[in-house]
Structure 1
Amino acid sequence: MVTPSRIQLARERRAVTLAQLSRTCGISQQSLSRYENARAEPSAGTLAAIAAALRFPVAFFTAEDIEEVGSEAVAFRARTKTSMRKQKAVRASAALGVQLRHWLAERFALPEPDVPTLGRPAPDVAAEIVRSRWGLGEAAAPNMVHLLEAHGVCVFSLDPEHEEVDAFSFWRDSTPYVFLSTGKTAERGRFDAAHELGHLVMHGQERPLTGPDAEREANQFASAFLMPRADVLARMPSGAQVDQILKARTIWRVSAMALTHRMHDLGLLSDWQYRSTCAQLAELGYRRGEPDGIPRETSQVLTKAFQRLRRTGVSAAQVAAELHIPVEELNTLLFGLAFTAREGAAARTAPPGPRARLRVL
């Protein structure tokens, strides 16, 4: 029996309308609508045509129902600049990410969530609370993806085709999720991860996730979390020059522009000095990118899980098959990590028995 919600999810994942799908697979738009709304059941041949057009295995459409990720649950960075079709596409990808997390949780003991949901503290206070709870003190934050994973946040990557979506986050069944773009600089990726942590902490359960105020608060949280007030004041001189900022940004592994903005917020740069420094950095190419940047941060949980699966003869292709999705779809969630099967390895399902514990450093 076909699961209607999966037809809609696959179509939204491919960012196509009913009319576009109709033209591609040669099935009337009216019939497709009836299939998605459970008013009719497609024949085997019709389902095969739909599956081919949407580039999903036929088995995907007959598996159990998938709960969608609602728009109200997602903190999009620039919702007004992101088309509804793109929003639905990345939310569909997020729903598949939730399925992958459930699959992994059945086989591995994943870190338990330890992300506080706070009331209405100021963003810098919220950042200090989380840093204290996680034992970071005033030191620079370590690898942000590893840090989030160590505290039970499920972190996945976004399909590069949706480059206009920087990142987003949401809570599902008391589990926090963060999705990050891999098309930005590594420094921007760290800031995005901290920004989404801010959403989870400050806006995750009781307060709205959207709007300029929420975005401003998340930015302030990220700045304070990555560049602690006491540490920046201790290290940076008042009125620092561009060369000093470029050298110091490596301490906190942030962009030159982010450090400049933080110094202005802390009173280390006057309004005139801030504008002048930003202009100089822009001339040097630091507004659009980060020359000589740091290596990109990727998932430790996914790396360890798939390496362990591979050692038992389970390839990424086999995982995708169990999830009833194309292996390419799986790979979009894995930060571009290459998990391929060894040539000639025997096919087998994921190892049975007690769940293996993944230690995140």
Structure 2
Amino acid sequence: MINPNRLQFARIRRAWSKAKLAKELGIEVRSIQGYELGEYCPEEQRLEAIALALNFPKNFFLGPDLPLINETTASFRSMSKMSATIKNSALSAGTLAFLLNEFIESKFKLPEADLPDLGDLSPEDAASSIRRIWGLGEAPIGNLIHLLESRGIRVYSLAINAREVDAFSVWHNNKPFIFLNTYKSAEHSRFDAAHELGHLLRDRHNMLHGNSHSPQMEREANLFASSFLMPRTSVIAHAPNVPTIDKLINLKDIWGVSLAALAYRMNQLSLFSEWNYRNLCIQIAKKGYRTNEPNPIRREMSQTLSKVFELLKEDGITKLNIANTLNIESDEIDNLTFGLMISGLAASDNPVTTTVHNKPTLTLVK
């Protein structure tokens, strides 16, 4: 007998309405409602048609309930701009990441979470404190994803071609997760990752108690990300006497941020006049640099996942093996893992700086 919750999950993951699925199957919407409510079970042939339409293996629908993510416990950057369909599809991707992560942690011991509760500090003070606690000083951060993974944060990717989906973070079984949309620019993703780190450090209580959304929390997470990636003394030391677009383009790669983010941070630190800042913003918009970043940096990817897949491959465990174990399609794994298993790329260090951080260690579980 199928699990009706899994049928509903699969439909939501594909961002399909009940009406769309019913039309695809050539049946009444009431039948889909009945299946999802558990009022009756589709016959074998109908189940096969459902599995084919929703691109899930038939056995997926026979499993136990899934660890669903409540939207009130997940921190989304653009909640007000996001449709319920897109939001729920992204949350369901997070659920599949939980399954994949559980599989990985059944075979490897990953770093434990090292995230203090900094909820009583201002965003700037929290950024300074975590830099001090993690021994980062004022230096620019090299590969941010590698740093987060070394501190026990599980970082997965979202492959959702929707501008309103930036990133989100959530706590699951006392483990922090960050999800980054790979359709965004590399600079945008770095800032998103730092933004979500701010939520995990400063808003843990609210996230765990279903109060993860407010305009103030989003503003403060942005301030944290800006302060964390671009420390005050470092930015002041590099600030040009006369700010121009060309000078900022030459500087932005120091911190691995977007041109707009650097201009905002320098203005926040009163390094040039409000008139200069408005003029820079106009030029950035006119040149299209808000959507097409000048001198783009290399995209950061997971080092932990890259190592995991290399070690699993040595043991003869393939992507298809993992997908079959989890009863999902293999492209779901690609979508969650920065395409590492498609491209075969290792998560090489980002060249924005030469700063070296402790790399995450993997221990094989015997």
- 1:133 to 2:136 alignment: no
Distance 1:283 1:161, change over 3 A: closer
How far apart, CA to CA, are the structure 1 residues paired with 2:295 and 2:235?
A: 22
Please name the residue that 2:354 is paired with.
none
How far apart, CA to CA, are the structure 2 residues paired with 1:340 and 1:39?
A: 44
How far apart, CA to CA, are the structure 1 residues paired with 2:49 and 2:89?
A: 21
The runs of 5 or more residues in structure 1 that have no matched partner are 342-354
Please name the residue that 1:234 is paired with.
237
Please name the residue that 2:257 is paired with.
254
Please name the residue that 2:218 is paired with.
215
Q: How far 1:238 moved relative to its partner?
A: 4.5
How far apart, CA to CA, are the structure 2 residues paired with 1:4 and 1:132?
A: 49
SS at 2:169 equivalent: strand
8 Å CA contact retained: 1:315, 1:340: no
Please name the residue that 1:346 is paired with.
none
8 Å CA contact retained: 2:161, 2:183: no
How far apart, CA to CA, are the structure 2 residues paired with 1:64 and 1:356?
A: 29
Specify the code of the residue in structure 2 equivalent to 1:357.
Answer: T
Structure 1-normalised TM-score? 0.91
- 1:302 to 2:305 alignment: yes
Please name the residue that 1:160 is paired with.
160
How far apart, CA to CA, are the structure 1 residues paired with 2:17 and 2:189?
A: 31
Specify the code of the residue in structure 1 equivalent to 2:48.
Answer: A
Q: What's the RMSD between the two structures over aligned residues?
A: 1.8
How far apart, CA to CA, are the structure 1 residues paired with 2:233 and 2:300?
A: 25
Aligned counterpart for 2:325 among listed residues 302, 312, 322: 322
Q: Which structure 2 residues correspond to residues 32-181 of structure 1 after superposition, within 5 A?
A: 32-181=32-181
How far apart, CA to CA, are the structure 1 residues paired with 2:164 and 2:19?
A: 24
* Paired residue total: 345
Bigger relative contact order (CA 8 A; separation at least 6): 2
8 Å CA contact retained: 1:178, 1:196: yes
Please name the residue that 1:15 is paired with.
15
SS at 2:275 equivalent: helix
SS at 2:75 equivalent: coil
How far apart, CA to CA, are the structure 1 residues paired with 2:4 and 2:191?
A: 38
How far apart, CA to CA, are the structure 2 residues paired with 1:202 and 1:58?
A: 42
How far apart, CA to CA, are the structure 2 residues paired with 1:356 and 1:122?
A: 34
Please name the residue that 2:228 is paired with.
225
After TM superposition, the runs of 4+ consecutive aligned structure 1 residues lying more than 4 A away are none
Specify the code of the residue in structure 1 equivalent to 2:235.
Answer: V
Per-residue displacement from partner, 1:277-304 (whole Å, max 9, x unpaired)?
A: 2222333332222122110000111111
SS at 2:206 equivalent: coil
SS at 1:240 equivalent: coil
Aligned counterpart for 1:357 among listed residues 339, 352, 363: 363
How far apart, CA to CA, are the structure 2 residues paired with 1:201 and 1:91?
A: 21
8 Å CA contact retained: 2:159, 2:183: no
How far apart, CA to CA, are the structure 1 residues paired with 2:232 and 2:32?
A: 56
Structure 2-normalised TM-score? 0.90
How far apart, CA to CA, are the structure 1 residues paired with 2:184 and 2:24?
A: 33
Please name the residue that 1:204 is paired with.
204
SS at 1:335 equivalent: coil
Identity of aligned residues (%): 42
- 1:185 to 2:188 alignment: no
How far apart, CA to CA, are the structure 1 residues paired with 2:161 and 2:329?
A: 16
The runs of 5 or more residues in structure 2 that have no matched partner are 345-360
Specify the code of the residue in structure 2 equivalent to 1:39.
Answer: E
8 Å CA contact retained: 1:15, 1:89: yes
8 Å CA contact retained: 1:163, 1:181: no
How far apart, CA to CA, are the structure 1 residues paired with 2:309 and 2:58?
A: 25
Q: How far 1:135 moved relative to its partner?
A: 1.1
SS at 1:94 equivalent: helix
8 Å CA contact retained: 1:115, 1:201: yes
Distance 1:123 1:237, change over 3 A: same
How far apart, CA to CA, are the structure 2 residues paired with 1:230 and 1:210?
A: 31
Q: Which structure 2 residues correspond to residues 247-286 of structure 1 after superposition, within 5 A?
A: 247-286=250-289
Q: How far 1:40 moved relative to its partner?
A: 2.1
Specify the code of the residue in structure 1 equivalent to 2:140.
Answer: A
8 Å CA contact retained: 1:127, 1:225: yes
SS at 1:112 equivalent: coil
8 Å CA contact retained: 2:59, 2:327: yes
Specify the code of the residue in structure 2 equivalent to 1:149.
Answer: E
8 Å CA contact retained: 2:319, 2:341: no
